[in-house]
Structure 1
Amino acid sequence: MTAAGTDRQAPWDLSFLRVGTAVTAGLTAVAAPVAGLLAGSGAAVGVLLGAAVVASFFVLSGLVIAWAGRHGDAYTLPAALGSFVVKILLLAAVLQALPADGWVDRRALAWTVVAGALVWSVVQQRWVWTRRLYYVPPPDPPPPAGPPLPPGGGPTRG
């Protein structure tokens, strides 16, 4: 409760999504051509698809958890676990829907998903470790020091 008697809730900061997406895009820009040169165009497409899957899954989870957190802290864990289950089921469906000898290298896609999840985990950990996160709302800033200024905004000369 604040001095005015109203609840003050800290906004959910989703800036890690921008960083994670940028890191994913940079790594994908390097990994896709390398995979294409080493294992063919199917591997390059698998890397591109895998990176898109991981980025979209983490963005979706971040948005769902932030939405749940705005409605109540008790909803964040069920939202996180629920979105995780949905993502795993979707990934399994995507992998099963791709033919074994199709135009997408499923192994490259799967390894990209694993590597991408690890990269996003590191991005999130670094984001948490370098941010000032309060477990309670921070105190109000102190009032300005000194006597109040006159209505003109500054000292007057006589």
Structure 2
Amino acid sequence: MSAPRPAPQVPWDLSFLKVGTLVTGTVAVVAALVAGLVAGWADAVGVLVGALVVTAFFVLSGVVIAWAGRVDDTFTLPAALGTFFVKAVVLFGILNALPEDGWLDRRTLAWAVVVGALLWSGVQLRWVWTRPLYYVTPPAPPGQATVPPAPGGAPTPG
């Protein structure tokens, strides 16, 4: 029988959610104004609802995957795939439930979701490329040596 895996020492960083939300909100407001002036206000609402849907979906995925990673790293892929499947079914239901000639344009909503997903993907790529991600825990900075725990589990004063 194998021993249970220890929980990861490094917490999952969800700071990309704030950046993604701010970027998406800014782009959505500008795009909604342009769409409203050019194509009509039903299109503007479609842009805003699409941006809201994408933001909610990425936030949900980030939180679920981080939770799964805190439990055990091997749960992250199933959590990501399961969440993606549920989101795809929900999006399909939302798009089918909207009337063709309703208070928002379904085609604009769908395109806003596609553009929003690409925008969020770009934000995540940039976030990963600009962060120092370590494969192993980095050593302590000079002068801050870690004190190993005593045999009873409590750290020794050092």
Question: Which TM bucket (shorter chain)?
Answer: 0.7 to 0.9
Q: Is the 8 A contact 1:20 1:120 kept in 2?
A: yes
Whole-angstrom distance in 2 between the partners of 1:88 and 1:55: 14
**CA 7–78 in structure 1, closer or farther in 2 if over 3 Å, else same:** closer
Question: Which amino acid in structure 2 is aligned with residue 142 of structure 1?
Answer: P
How many correspondences in the alignment? 140
Match of 2:79 in 1: 79
Q: Retained in 1: the 8 A contact 2:32–2:48?
A: yes
Give the match's secondary structure for 2:11.
coil
Identity across the alignment (%): 66
**Cα deviation digits, residues 9-49 of structure 1 (max 9, x gap):** 10111110000000001001100011111111110110010
The alignment status of 1:21 with 2:26, answered yes or no, reads no
- In 2, the alpha carbon distance for the partners of 1:89 and 1:8 equals 32
Structure 2 gap ranges (5+): 1-5, 146-158
| Aligned position for 1:31 | 31
Amino acid corresponding to residue 105 of structure 1 in structure 2: D
CA drift of 1:79 comes to 0.5
Task: Flag the 1:70–1:103 CA change in 2: closer, same or farther, 3 A.
Answer: same
Say which SS state the counterpart of residue 124 (structure 1) adopts: helix
Residue 90 (structure 2) pairs with residue 90 (structure 1):
yes
| Paired residues for 1:105-144 under 5 Å | 105-143=105-143
Tell me the residue number matched to 1:45. Answer: 45
Maintained 8 Å contact 2:16/2:127: yes
How much does 1:144 deviate? 5.3
* TM-score, scaled relative to structure 2: 0.84
Amino acid at match of 1:126: R
1:38 partner amino acid: V
Task: Indicate if the aligned counterparts of 1:8 and 1:137 stay in contact, CA closer than 8 A.
Answer: no
Query: How much does 1:140 deviate?
Result: 2.9
Q: Which has the larger radius of gyration?
A: 1
Unaligned runs of 5+ in 1: 1-5, 146-158
Query: Against the structure 1 CA distance between its residues 106 and 72, is the aligned structure 2 distance closer, same or farther, given a 3 Å change threshold?
Result: same
Q: Give, in whole Å, the separation in 1 of the partners of 2:115 and 2:48.
A: 13
Note the C-alpha offset of 1:7: 6.5
